Homo-oligomer: A and B are copies of this chain.
Amino acid sequence: MSQQTPQSFPGAGIDKSSPLPYHFQLREIIRAEIASSRWQVGDQLPSEREFCETFNISRTTVREALDALVSEGLLTREKGLGTFVAAPKYMERWSGSVVGFSDSVSEQGYLMETEVLELSILPASHLVRQELYLQRDEKVFFLKRRRFIHKIPILLVISYLPQKHFPALDEIDFTNRSLYETLRQTYGLRIARVKRRIEAIAAGDDETNLLQVDPGFPLMYIENTAFNSSDIPIEHFQAWRRGDRARFEFEYRVSDELAHD
């Protein structure tokens, strides 16, 4: 970790006549330093005292600003050492041409690894049958994987795939293969549409162990159903991601009707 302590805040200052609280203004100043890369990952922040003196504000105000940025995952505190710029959240883009975790992550040059925790054949549960339009006696592949970025467990994902569509899927080793790439290359199945639900939840027992976080830690929970070009659901997944490491970005166009209402 570098020990560089930036001393100046070019062009930044706290406007005492603004109705914005000082801690909020300081948060924005620090955010801008990081966004502009003047402060980089691992850089140590000035001490609380230095912040107080530079901006002529109270220590409570400084702490409030820093606490908020630590909660957000932008800064990290090392006991007895100080406050540092945290490793950035990896950004997953959800757009028209990228569907999977590995597509998105490898595009950004991250070191990604996968651990296959389980791959088996099971009777589909009620909910999975609903999502995948299956009959009561139909079976699914159950694929549970843990995925790492730069050795940190980021994502726990359980995929369900109808057995009838994917002969011998359970003989494939997904340690070094993307699931979606396999669906395309081995089974000739293309994903044409995905339906996603996202929530912020607190880590339960399984997630606590596998993602190495404390109970109650904020996670992003995603349920996804993927459809092929005939609009038949071919995969359903549940995914838990560490909130401090993941961020999603996407765009959408708004249809024209709104212009007239």
Contact = CB atoms under 8 A, between A and B. Distances in A.
A12 to B, nearest CB: 7
Contacts of A199: 72-73, 89, 220, 243, 246-248
Contact of A200 (B123, B195, B220): B220
Interface in A199-219: 199-206, 216-219
A257 interface: yes
Contact of A67 (B91, B205, B244, B253): B205
Given A126-B32, A204-B71, A194 B252 contact: yes
Interface in A151-200: 184, 190-200
Nearest to A249: B197
A15 interface: yes
B32 A195 contact: no
Q: Is the interface of A mostly helix, strand, loop or mixed?
A: mixed
Contacts of A95: 252
Interface residues of A, number: 78
Interface in A1-48: 11-12, 15, 18-20, 24-25, 28-29, 31-32, 35-36
Contacts of A118: 19
Given A68-B205, A200-B219, A201-B243, A249 B195 contact: yes
B18 A72 contact: no
Interface string A85-109: 0000101001111010000000000
Contacts of A28: 125-127
Contacts of A130: 35
B122 A243 contact: no
Nearest to A142: B20
B243 A202 contact: yes
B67 A251 contact: no
A162 to B, nearest CB: 17
A221 interface: yes
Nearest to A18: B122
A53 B227 CA distance: 40
10 contacts: A19-B120, A31-B127, A32-B126, A72-B221, A91-B197, A184-B259, A195-B249, A199-B243, A200-B220, A200-B241
